[in-house]
Amino acid sequence: MDRRIEIQVRADENKKRLEDVLLDRFRALSKLYLRKLVKHGKCEVNGRLENRGYRLRENDFIEIHLNPDRQNSMVPEDLHLDVVHDDPEFVIINKPVGMLVHPSHRDKSGTVLNALAFLLNQTSGAGHIRPGLVHRLDRETSGLLVISKNTRSHRRLAIQFERRLVEKKYLAMVDGSMAADAGVVDHRIGRFATEKRWDVKVDGRFAETRFRVVKRYASRTLLELEPITGRTNQLRIHCAAIGHPIIGDATRGGSAFPRLCLHAEKLFFRHPSTWEPMTFEQDVNFGFADPTPDDRN
C-alpha cells in the first residue's frame, strides 16, 4: 500500500540530484520504480513537480507517495561469482556462460545482479549497496563485466562508456581460416521487425568492429575483436557478415558447439574517483582439443 513520506534535504545532500537522494534514502527499492514515481507525478519538491535530475538544496522539502514494502526484483541470492577485482567504487567479475546479467520479465532469479545483491551486502553495518549495471554481456557471452557500487560511480563510469573512452576487447573462435591478419568491419546494423532479429541492414545504424588474428588453425581462427560502437549483437553479426561466424552461434551459421565462443577478455577504463587508468584481463579456454599437427600459427 502506498504511503505519503516526507523528507527534508540534509546539508550533505545539498546540490545532489533528486534521483540520487531517493536512491540513497530508499535503498531497498529499485531504481526503475523510483524513476516511475517521479515521472508520473508521485514526487514533489517544495510543492512542485521536478524531474529526477533536479538539483536539491539543503532544507528542501520532498513529498513522495510510494510503497516501502514493495519487493525489489533484485532479490539477493547466494550464487557463486568469479570476482576478479573488488573496489570500494565498483566490482569486476568474470561472468560465466549461460548467466543473465539482470532479471527479466521471464527470468526473475539466477542473474549476476541477484548474486551481487547478496555478495555486496553480506557485511553487517556496511549499509545497503545497490549494484548498478554500466554495460552488459549477452547470456551466452562470458568474460569481464564491471558493476558500480554507488550512483556517483555509476554515472562516471557510464559517461566513459557513452563517450567511448572505455576499451573493450573480446576473444572469438570463428569458423574458417581468415586470410587477412587484421581489418575493420563496418556494416550497418538494424532490427528487422517482422523477424524480430538484428542483422546487417542498409538503413541501420553505423557499426564498427576491429579484428586481429591471434592464431590460425586448420578450420577455425582465434580472433581478437574490438567493438568501436556498441550495437546489439554487433560482434556476432559482423563475424557472420564476413563469412566467419562465431563457433556456437547456430542462428548465424556458426558450427555446433557446447557454448558460444565469445569472451570479453580485456577491459580498460579510468577509476571513477581517482581517474587512475585501470586495465583488467581474463583469459579463456573455449574447450577445444589440443591443436592438430596441421594447424597453422
Residue range 30-50: average pLDDT? Answer: 89
Query: Grid cell 538539483 — which residue?
Result: 55
Q: What is the structure's pLDDT at 233? A: 94
Who has greater pLDDT, 292 or 189? 189
Given a cut of 80, is residue 296 above it in pLDDT? no
What residues does each domain of the chain span? Answer: 3-66, 83-163, 167-265
Q: What is the structure's pLDDT at 123? A: 59
Q: What is the structure's pLDDT at 70? A: 67
Amino acid at 110: G
What does the pLDDT look like over 200-209, one tens digit per residue?
999 999 999 9
Closest to 113 in 3D by CA, of 72, 169, 84, 70: 72
Name the pLDDT band for 32 (thresholds 50, 70, 90): confident
Query: Grid cell 530508499 — which residue?
Result: 26
DSSP readout, the chain?
--EEEEEE--GGGTT-BHHHHHHHHTTTS-HHHHHHHHHTT-EEETTEE--TTPBP-TT-EEEEEE-TTPPPSS--------EEEE-SSEEEEEEPTT--SS--SS--SSSHHHHHHHHTT-STTS-----EESS---TT-EEEEEEESSHHHHHHHHHHHHTT--EEEEEEEEES--S-SEEEE---EEEETTTTEEEE-TTSB---EEEEEEEE-SSEEEEEEEESS--TTHHHHHHHHTT-PBTT-GGGTPPP-SS--EEEEEEEEE-TTT--EEEEE------PPPPPTT---
Given a cut of 80, is residue 126 above it in pLDDT? no
Q: Which of 138, 199, 249, 283 is catalytic?
A: 138
Residue positions counted in the chain: 297
The CATH number of the structural domain formed by 83-163 is: 3.30.2350.10
Same CATH fold, 167-265 and 83-163? yes
Q: How far apart are CA 223 and CA 77, in angstroms?
A: 35
**CA 143 to chain CA mean position, Å:** 11
| Cβ atoms of residues 173 and 261 within 8 Å | yes
How many CA atoms within 13 Å lie on the side-chain side of 14? 4
The CATH number of the structural domain formed by 167-265 is: 3.30.2350.10
Q: What is the structure's pLDDT at 181? A: 96
Q: How far apart are CA 227 and CA 178, in angstroms?
A: 18
Closest to 158 in 3D by CA, of 90, 215, 98: 90
Residue range 3-17: average pLDDT? Answer: 90
Residue range 10-32: average pLDDT? Answer: 85
Query: Grid cell 589440443 — which residue?
Result: 290
- What's the distance, Cα to Cα, between the start and end of the chain in Å? 65
CB atoms within 10 A of CB 276: 8
- Residues β-bridged to residue 52: none
Q: What is the structure's pLDDT at 107? A: 73
What does the pLDDT look like over 159-171, one tens digit per residue?
999 899 999 999 9
- Is 138 in the active site? yes
What does the pLDDT look like over 226-281, one tens digit per residue?
999 989 999 999 999 999 999 999 999 999 999 999 999 999 999 999 999 999 99
- Per DSSP bridges, beta strands 48-49 and 43-45 are antiparallel
CATH topology for 3-66 is 3.10.290
Residue 120 dihedral angles phi and psi, to the nearest 5°: -80, -10
What does the pLDDT look like over 83-125, one tens digit per residue?
999 999 999 999 999 999 887 767 778 899 889 988 888 754 5
